[in-house]
């Protein structure tokens, strides 16, 4: 009887344990579900709040469409001059761009929020000396990552909702000091580590030339808003092409200055602490002259005082306005990712425009581009994604970026197995996959990487200087593809060699529109093949099959700290295209 009781007792204990385990497991799942629902509710409320402000603006301003249309036809310089002369009033200009920005975001989802501080700005400007403010009254848009007093800078993370910034970023302070009126903030991908355009809070932004096509990223909202006519001047950030790629895909101009030429203080960063490849901020506009106006204005004593780490270098007008004929290198293919025919044609067209203006163009070949990509990827993902994964704890993860997040979460043993398998099909994809894991995340490796980056920069500029004639700059593709359906732009590394190179070697680089994709360009894709014959090459070919009519840009590059020369080359192309 005692044995039976004992057996019964054991079974009872076992049943109790199983029951407790099941109850406990179920409780954990329920708690996680409830937490997730609260998080989703928080996100929905944030989006609804910002959308309500946008809807309110549209309702209040709908009867001003006729007046707005006249203002929106002007360029930035015309508007500033008209405001300084009193031919336009500040409120009418702000209303015109608010109306347009709110209208286009209903279609393309490019604006995240309207800045209530804009009205306060106008009151300050009414008492100011307009002639002393080079951006007097000009509405300016900002990427959501720029910190502005009283507003959230979420970069697609719910943890930053309801945590308004205490002060403006330095660049925003300088813009206000120079008379500009920051009026909206624009969309970006979660954590800004992608060329896509979506995040769980604000959703996905569309290309202004075709719904369902990407505008690029990570300055996606800026590219879409300016391309749709909702802003004349905006600011984005660029760590691997995040200004230049949206400019190329949205048919506008974008400029990445030399690192630290403009102050970065007050940015919500994607990789805080990572300094080998550091994000640079810069202007985006419809024309090169507006980029120049922005750089001339911002490179001022006020910025140098607010951020003493920025070299006190004023805009060099002499370099920008030089009349001498330039010597410019060019290439249509870097050997890593072969551009589609339309992109190569754009470089050739820009070359023709420069030659017609009397400039000399000579071939240039990028040295060891696969080595540059290895160094770049190893630097950006040197911690194996640990910081990013820590920031994602308890967050709603953007579905389009989960393949990237999975690379970082993968155990080392699986990473090596998959790397071996991938190496049988494509060595470059295998190498990239391994680098996303950070390899051995040690100080020794980091210092070694710094040495490798320094050596590559030396080799690159040695080649630059080895030409028979001194090169003033280089023109080349900005990206191997043009805008296409979203799904083709989720893998960052596969596409960034043309832009990331100039972050690595710290050259100023800009993009301007040159042409549009033709049916003849698409027909040539039938016989198109890349350099490796792998999945990345296939993606380049497939991404653009439906892209007739999409904008195509060219990238212009100058040596570090020669930002004015880069802008000069961009302007020469812009002017020369009118003669072709």
Q: Which residues contact 105 (CB under 8 A, 6 or more apart)?
A: 54, 111, 225, 230
Residue corresponding to tokens 């820009």: 350
- The answer to whether 291 and 574 are in contact (CB under 8 A) is no
What's the pLDDT tens digit per position in 311-333?
Answer: 999 999 999 999 999 999 999 99
Give me the mean pLDDT over the 137-164 stretch: 97
**Looking at 105-152, which runs of residues are DSSP E strands?**
111-114, 139-143
Please list the active-site residues. 143, 218, 242
pLDDT over 80 at 476, yes or no: yes
pLDDT at 15 (0 to 100): 62
Residue 159, number of CB atoms within 10 A of its CB: 14
Average pLDDT over residues 461-489: 92
Question: For residues 460 and 317, is the Cβ–Cβ distance under 8 A?
Answer: no
- pLDDT at residue 186 in the model: 98
> What pLDDT score was predicted for residue 26?
76
- Give residue-wise pLDDT tens across range 373-399: 999 999 998 888 898 999 999 999 999
pTM score, two decimals? 0.94
Give the Cα separation of 120 and 132 in Å (integer).
Answer: 19
- Specify binding-site residues: 192, 218, 239-242
Instruction: Tell me the pLDDT band of 273, cut-offs 50, 70 and 90.
Output: confident
Q: Which residues are annotated as a binding site for substrate?
A: 192, 218, 239-242
* Per-residue pLDDT at 4 exceeds 90: no
Question: Which is the CATH superfamily of the domain at 47-315?
Answer: Amidase signature (AS) domain (3.90.1300.10)
Cα-based distances in Å from 122 to 113, 229, 239, 556: 18, 22, 33, 36
pLDDT digits (tens, 9 = 90+) for 413-460: 898 999 999 999 899 999 999 888 876 678 888 899 999 999 999 999
Instruction: Return the pLDDT at 296.
Output: 98
d(CA 554, CA 541): 19
Q: What is the mean pLDDT of the chain?
A: 93
Mean pLDDT of 276-291: 95
**Sorting pLDDT into bands at 50, 70 and 90, what band is 5?**
low
Q: Find the farthest-apart pair of alpha carbons in the chain and give their distance in angstroms, rounded.
A: 109
- Separation of first and last alpha carbons in the chain: 104
Q: Which of the two residues, 556 and 442, has the higher pLDDT score?
A: 556
Say which DSSP state 478 is in.
Answer: S
Q: Extract the tokens encoding 17.
A: 């344990």
CA distance 554 to 473: 13
Q: State how far the alpha carbon of 499 is from the alpha carbons of 174, 434, 436, 477, 564, in Å.
A: 28, 22, 19, 9, 19
Instruction: Tell me which fold the domain 326-367+469-580 belongs to.
Output: Amidase signature (AS) enzymes (3.90.1300)
Dihedral sign computed on CA atoms, order 491, 499, 139, 118: positive
Q: Is 3's pLDDT higher than 70?
A: no
Q: Assess whether pLDDT exceeds 80 at residue 6.
A: no
Alpha helices per DSSP H over 321-368: 341-356
Nearest 5°: phi and psi at 59? -65, -40
pLDDT at residue 252 above 80? Answer: yes
What is the model's pLDDT at position 14?
A: 63
Indicate where the chain has its CATH 3.90.1300.10 domain(s): 47-315, 326-367+469-580
């Amino acid at each position: 009887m005692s044995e039976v009781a004992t057996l019964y007792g054991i079974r009872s204990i076992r049943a109790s344990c199983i029951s407790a385990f099941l109850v406990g497991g179920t409780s954990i799942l329920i708690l996680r579900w409830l937490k997730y629902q609260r998080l989703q509710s928080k996100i929905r409320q944030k989006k609804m709040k910002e959308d309500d402000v946008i809807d309110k603006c549209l309702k209040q301003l709908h009867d001003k469409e006729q007046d707005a249309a006249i203002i929106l036809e002007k360029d930035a310089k015309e508007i500033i001059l008209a405001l300084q002369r009193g031919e336009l009033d500040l409120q009418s200009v702000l209303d015109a761009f608010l109306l347009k920005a709110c209208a286009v975001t209903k279609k393309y989802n490019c604006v995240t929020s309207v800045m209530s501080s804009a009205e306060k700005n106008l009151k300050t400007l009414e008492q100011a000396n307009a002639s002393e403010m080079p951006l007097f009254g000009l509405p300016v848009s900002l990427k959501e990552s720029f910190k502005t007093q009283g507003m959230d800078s979420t970069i697609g993370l719910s943890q930053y909702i309801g945590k308004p910034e205490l002060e403006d970023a330095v660049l925003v302070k300088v813009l206000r000091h120079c008379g500009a009126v920051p009026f909206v903030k624009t969309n970006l991908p979660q954590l800004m580590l992608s060329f896509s355009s979506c995040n769980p809070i604000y959703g996905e932004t569309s290309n202004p030339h075709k719904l369902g096509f990407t505008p690029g990223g990570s300055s996606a909202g800026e590219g879409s808003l300016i391309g749709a006519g909702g802003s004349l001047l905006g600011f984005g950030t660029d760590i691997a092409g995040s200004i230049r790629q949206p400019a190329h895909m949205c048919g506008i101009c974008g400029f990445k200055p030399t690192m630290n030429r403009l102050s970065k203080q007050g940015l919500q960063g994607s990789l805080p602490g990572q300094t080998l490849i550091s994000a640079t901020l810069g202007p985006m506009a419809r024309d090169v002259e507006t980029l120049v106006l922005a750089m001339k204005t911002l490179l001022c004593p006020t910025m140098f005082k607010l951020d003493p780490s920025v070299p006190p270098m004023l805009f060099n007008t002499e370099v920008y306005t030089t009349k001498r004929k330039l010597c410019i290198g060019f290439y249509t293919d870097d050997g890593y990712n072969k551009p589609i025919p339309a992109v190569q044609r754009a470089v050739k067209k820009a070359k023709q425009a420069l030659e017609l203006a009397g400039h000399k163009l000579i071939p240039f070949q990028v040295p060891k581009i696969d080595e540059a990509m290895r160094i770049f990827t190893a630097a950006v993902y040197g911690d194996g994604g640990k910081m990013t994964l820590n920031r994602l704890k308890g967050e709603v993860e953007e579905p389009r970026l989960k393949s990237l997040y999975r690379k970082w979460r993968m155990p080392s043993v699986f990473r090596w197995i998959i790397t071996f398998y991938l190496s049988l099909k494509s060595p470059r994809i295998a190498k990239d996959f391994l680098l996303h894991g950070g390899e051995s995340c040690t100080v020794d490796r980091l210092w070694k990487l710094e040495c490798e980056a320094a050596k590559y920069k030396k080799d690159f500029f040695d080649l630059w200087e080895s030409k028979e004639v001194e090169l003033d700059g280089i023109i080349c593709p900005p990206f191997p593809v043009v805008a296409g359906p979203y799904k083709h732009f989720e893998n960052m590394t596969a596409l960034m060699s043309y832009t990331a190179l100039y972050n690595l070697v710290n050259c100023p680089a800009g993009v301007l529109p040159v042409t549009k994709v033709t049916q003849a360009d698409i027909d040539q894709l039938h016989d198109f093949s890349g350099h490796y014959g792998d999945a990345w090459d296939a993606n380049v070919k497939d991404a653009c099959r439906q892209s007739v009519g999409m904008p195509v840009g060219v990238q212009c590059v100058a040596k570090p700290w020669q930002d004015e020369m880069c802008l000069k080359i961009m302007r020469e192309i812009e002017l020369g295209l009118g003669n072709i």
